Amino acid sequence: MHARLLIHPLLFAAVLATVSPVALSQPAPFNLTAAVDAAWQRSPQARTLQARRDEMTAGQEAARSWIAGSPTVGLSERSDRWTERAGVREREVSLSAPVWLPGQVSARRSQAEASTDDLEAQIANLRLSLAGEVRERLWAVAAARENLAEAMNHQRFLDATADDVQRRVNAGDLARTDGMLAQQEALAAKAAVVDAQLKVREALFQYTTLTGLPDVPSATPEPIAVAPKEPHPRRLASRTAMQHAQASLNVVNKTRSEPPTVGVAFRRERDGYGAESAASVTVAVQIPIGTAARNRPLEAAARTELEKASAEARMTDEALKAEIDLARDRVAASEQSFNAASSQAALARQHAQLIEKAFRLGERGLAEMLRAQSLLHEAEVAERLQRVAIGLARARLNQALGVTP
């Protein structure tokens, strides 16, 4: 910004105070990992998935049980007290319960384990998704602040220019129209600063809503991961979903009918008054007969879920490869764009410096000098935003690689 220092010496301190926040920002008392943790604690989906861990534990305990339902206790008594009154009496106590067959127990245990693995994969995938949202909103704040910093620099320069032009107008060196033009440019710059401040507040509001934190961590570009994380959270979530669907289908295939019921009964009976009581034990098994009509809808639904999960797993694998390649290309493109923007900004500074010198010597008009400064302002905004774009592109690449802070 050397061209801007020729109008007013005090601008030097102002420019130093507003140099790129990305380049000079001090590390915040929290980092990106803490920001993701804060977003995780505030996420309703995250709290729901964590609460389901107890549900999975209960499911595993139930899957280890051989009892398929609630046991039943029965009490009965038969007597001719109200009819023949011969003293006939019979009492029976019974206990019965539905039980799983060995193959059914094994299938249900596998389903419970698959459900637990699927839940943990969903938790990891959701954390990666939240990390992506935090990254996007963090760099949105950084971009808004860069734009504000340059808008404030531009306003300071135009305020100083307007003051200098007005002094020259009062001295009779410049026309009154030049003073009016300089004041108009300064007021426009002030309005641009107000708009940029509003955009910073909006971006910060979005970030705070997500994380609950009042400010963003240091906007420093992330180091790029060497290789995709293994297992990748998105790929793992799709595969565990497919395994869970397969386990559910196995349970349906193993459960062709309702579980058999096993019961035991103790009976004591007497044939009449004076007769001795006799005791006996009864063991009973009831085996339901399964039908195709009962199992076909369950099997069709399970196969549908399996086909859906398989298709999503294939699409995830293909999408991940394409997203990683595209993210790498964006990183390379952002670096090239930054180099071009830096070169353009350097040329704009030199051009503005020459035009400003010519204006001070009376060889150029005010409008031409302001036009050169406007071009310089646009070039420096582009340079700042391209610096932010590099950080965002790196963050998106790590996101595609499955790197969770």
For residue 376, is it within any domain? yes
For residue 77, is it within any domain? no
CA distance 72 to 26: 70
For residue 357, is it within any domain? yes
For residue 268, is it within any domain? no
Q: What is the pLDDT of residue 27?
A: 33
Q: Are 50 and 119 in contact (CB under 8 A)?
A: no
* Structural domain boundaries, residue 366: 2-68+103-257+306-400
| Amino acid of residue 174 | L
Please report, for the domain that includes residue 359, its CATH number. Answer: 1.20.1600.10
Compute the CA torsion angle 308, 314, 318, 324 (nearest 10 deg).
Answer: 90
405 residues of the chain, pLDDT tens digit each:
334 433 343 333 333 333 333 333 333 334 889 999 999 999 999 999 999 988 898 888 888 888 888 899 999 888 877 777 777 788 889 999 999 888 888 999 999 999 999 999 999 999 999 999 999 999 999 999 999 999 999 999 999 999 989 998 998 888 999 999 999 999 999 999 999 999 999 999 999 999 999 988 878 899 999 889 999 999 999 999 999 999 999 998 888 888 899 999 998 887 777 677 788 898 999 888 877 677 788 889 999 999 999 999 999 999 999 999 999 999 999 999 999 999 999 999 999 999 999 988 888 889 999 999 999 999 999 999 999 999 999 999 999 999 998
C-beta atoms surrounding 62 within 10 Å: 13
For residue 292, is it within any domain? no
Tokens of 304: 């549908």
CA distance 382 to 114: 51
C-beta atoms surrounding 92 within 10 Å: 16
CA distance 276 to 266: 17
For residue 381, is it within any domain? yes
Domain count, the chain: 1
For residue 89, is it within any domain? no
Cis peptide bond prior to 288, omega within 30° of 0: no
Q: Are 257 and 288 in contact (CB under 8 A)?
A: yes
What's this model's pTM, rounded to 2 decimal places?
Answer: 0.79
CA distance 271 to 293: 47
For residue 270, is it within any domain? no
C-beta atoms surrounding 45 within 10 Å: 13
